[in-house]
Each structure stands twice: as structure tokens, then as C-alpha cells.
């Protein structure tokens, strides 16, 4: 004979596991400290300025 499964408990466990997986993805995607974000932005700005400074004006 098979075991009886409470569908409410099975649904809640499935939802909980899905939420845990989503939280893990969000931690990877958005989980940077403010100082890390500022450092990355400063580095990107510096690279953009260096690239803009190296551009040549088109001759007419």
C-alpha cells in the first residue's frame, strides 16, 4: 500500500524550495555591498573618460 500525501504540505514545501532558489539567484544578482558598487562605477567612469579622451575628431 502507498503512503498518503498531504497535498497542502507538498505544495508548501515546493513553494519554499522555489523561494529559496529565487533568493539565492537574487543574492548573486543584487548582493553587492555599497562600496563594491561605488568602486565598480568609479572604474567604469574612469575607463569611459579614458576612451572618450582617446577619440579623434573626424576631419571634415
pLDDT tens track for 16-34: 999 999 999 998 888 888 8
Residue 2 lies in a domain: no
Q: Which position has the higher pLDDT, 1 or 13?
A: 13
What pTM, to 2 d.p., does this model score?
Answer: 0.46
Residue 39 lies in a domain: yes
Looking at residue 31, what is its pLDDT? 87
Domain span including residue 33? 7-54
Q: Which position has the higher pLDDT, 59 or 40?
A: 40
Name the DSSP class of 6.
-
Residue 17 lies in a domain: yes
Residue 60 pLDDT > 70: no
How many domains is the chain partitioned into structurally?
A: 1
Residue 60 lies in a domain: no
H helix runs in 5-33, sequence order: 7-30
Taken as a whole, the chain contains a residue count of 60
Query: Percentage of the chain with pLDDT > 90?
Result: 60
Own/partner pairs, 8-15, CB within 8 angstroms, 24+ separation: none
Mean pLDDT value across residues 31-54:
91
Residue 34 lies in a domain: yes
Amino acid at each position: 500500500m502507498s503512503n498518503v500525501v498531504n497535498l497542502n504540505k507538498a505544495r508548501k514545501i515546493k513553494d519554499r524550495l522555489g523561494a529559496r532558489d529565487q533568493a539565492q539567484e537574487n543574492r548573486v544578482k543584487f548582493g553587492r555591498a555599497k562600496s563594491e558598487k561605488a568602486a565598480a562605477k568609479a572604474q567604469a567612469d574612469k575607463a569611459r573618460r579614458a576612451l572618450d579622451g582617446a577619440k579623434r575628431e573626424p576631419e571634415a
